Amino acid sequence: MKKFTKIALLILIVLPCFLVSGGCGSGGGSSPPILLAISISPTNATFVAGTTLQYTATGIYSNGLAINVTQSVTWSSSVPTVATIDSKGSATAVAAGTTAIKAALNGISATTNLTVTPTGANVMQITVNGNLCSSATSAGYINKPCVSVTVCNPNSNTCQTITD
């Protein structure tokens, strides 16, 4: 009779565990969250050739959590001659143009555009000569050394000389 009682008690304790939670010791039957989507930040960025920009990838999971996965995704640039991106999400602008930046993890990916502009205006020449230029002030005209600056814009291939 004692043996029967022990078996009956074991059944009464273990059976509800399997019926309610899918098995004792299984952590309640829950499975790990599933990656549903990735978002990339910043989106549709524009920056100057020769500079770097840090991207961030955020994973959106089935349990509702948004987790930074920047170090876990595989980063790529569709046009590496425009911009490259390393395994940590740091993009380097190489030359003017547009490329797609992609972050991928477990078959899920996201893409955003990156536009690289050429560097800004370049000062080509500064000249200070011994000539004097007249300049109007509230007290009248004064003479000061002349300064010439030539500024070139690589976007339009034009130059302008300013003398003061």
Q: What is the pLDDT of residues 57-95, one digit of tens each?
A: 999 999 999 999 999 999 999 999 999 999 999 999 999
Q: Using 50, 70 and 90 to split pLDDT, how confident is the model at 48?
A: confident
Percent of residues, the chain, with pLDDT higher than 70:
55
- H/E stretch holding 19: helix 2-21
Backbone angle region of 29, left / alpha / beta, with phi > 0 → left and psi within -120 to 50 → alpha: left
Lowest-confidence region among 11-25, 26-40, 107-121, 133-147: 11-25
Q: What are the residues facing 148 on neighbouring strands?
A: 127, 163
Q: pTM for this one?
A: 0.58
Q: Which residue has the higher pLDDT, 110 or 130?
A: 110
The token duo for 5 is: 């009682």
* Chain segment 93-119, per-residue pLDDT in tens: 999 999 999 999 999 999 999 999 887
| Pair of tokens at residue 136 | 């109007």
Residue 139: is its pLDDT beyond 60? Answer: no
The encoded tokens of residue 32 equal 């790990």
Write phi, then psi, for 112 (nearest 5 degrees). Answer: -140, 155
